[in-house]
């Protein structure tokens, strides 16, 4: 069964068309790897799929709603003056979820030791790991990830692969933009190149 079905989608930024007449279906256990040069429209397409922006034309079925997808944008959504734990507590509030179980999740991501440090003092990789922690706080069928590998070291890439694999094993799906190849060991990867 398709988690997401896209038909004849046209995406533009301002008056500039980026993606025209795009159709695909994403089934449970699948990863769609969006590739393309800078400015090809990968981020804009993800924003449309998430519902943050409207398409020019086409349909997305079902249109994902809050609580059904995880969004990890190019930006980490971490306020740099707050600590990782304070940022995650706020995210829990935004999603009507009790702010418990945060420390084990941060431990899993390898950033528990820095959980009480302001995010502005963390490295790019530590910030990305703290942002990735949101994916584990709620089980959601669809992950939309924009350049999730940015800033991650070799150990971080392995960790990301294991998180993604566990998500797919549970029947989830993901759409990922990345300039680099996805880490080895992730099953069900399809590539879609935007030109």
Partner 1 sequence: MIQIFAAVLRRELRLAATAKTEWLMPLFFYVIVVTLFGLGATPNDPKLAEFAPAILWVGALLAALLTLERLFRADFEDGTLEQIFLGTQPVTLVVAAKLFAHWLLTGLPLALLAAPLSSALGFSSVAIPALVAGLALGTPVLTLIGGFASALTVGLPRAGVLLPLLVLPLVTPVVIFGAGAARVAQSGLDGAAPLYFLAAILVLGLTLLPWATAAALRNAFE
Residues in contact with partner 1 by CB under 8 A are 47, 50-54, 66-67, 69, 71, 73-82, 86, 89-96, 118, 134
| In the complex, minimum distance from the CB of residue 52 to partner 1, in angstroms, rounded to a whole number | 5
Cα three-residue angle 34-184-142, rounded to 5 degrees = 45
| In the complex, minimum distance from the CB of residue 17 to partner 1, in angstroms, rounded to a whole number | 15
Residues, the chain, total?
195
Judge residue 21's burial from the number of C-beta atoms within 10 Å of its C-beta, 0-12 exposed, 13-18 middle, 19 or more buried: exposed
| In the complex, minimum distance from the CB of residue 104 to partner 1, in angstroms, rounded to a whole number | 21
| In the complex, minimum distance from the CB of residue 54 to partner 1, in angstroms, rounded to a whole number | 7
The sign of the dihedral angle between the CA atoms of 160, 128, 88, 4 is negative
Which C-beta is closer to partner 1: that of 82 or that of 161? 82
Which C-beta is closer to partner 1: that of 32 or that of 78? 78
Bond from prior residue into 62 cis (ω within 30 degrees of 0): yes
Which C-beta is closer to partner 1: that of 115 or that of 134? 134
Element (H, E) at 21: strand 16-27
Which C-beta is closer to partner 1: that of 28 or that of 118? 118
């Amino acid at each position: 069964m398709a988690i997401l079905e896209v038909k004849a989608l046209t995406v533009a930024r301002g008056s500039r068309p980026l993606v025209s007449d795009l159709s695909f279906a994403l089934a449970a256990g699948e990863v769609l790897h969006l590739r393309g040069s800078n400015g090809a429209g990968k981020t804009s397409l993800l924003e449309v799929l998430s519902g943050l922006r409207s398409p020019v034309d086409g349909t997305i079925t079902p249109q994902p709603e809050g609580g059904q997808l995880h969004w990890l944008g190019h930006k980490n959504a971490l306020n740099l003056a707050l600590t990782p734990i304070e940022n995650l507590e706020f995210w829990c509030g935004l999603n009507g979820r009790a702010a418990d179980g945060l420390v084990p999740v941060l431990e899993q991501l390898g950033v528990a030791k820095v959980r009480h440090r302001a995010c502005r003092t963390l490295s790019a990789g530590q910030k990305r790991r703290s942002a990735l922690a949101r994916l584990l706080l709620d089980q959601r069928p669809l992950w939309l990830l924009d350049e999730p590998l940015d800033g991650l070291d070799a150990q971080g890439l392995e960790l990301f692969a294991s998180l993604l694999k566990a998500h797919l094993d549970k029947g989830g799906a993901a759409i990922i933009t990345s300039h680099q190849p996805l880490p080895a060991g992730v099953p069900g990867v399809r590539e879609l190149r935007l030109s």
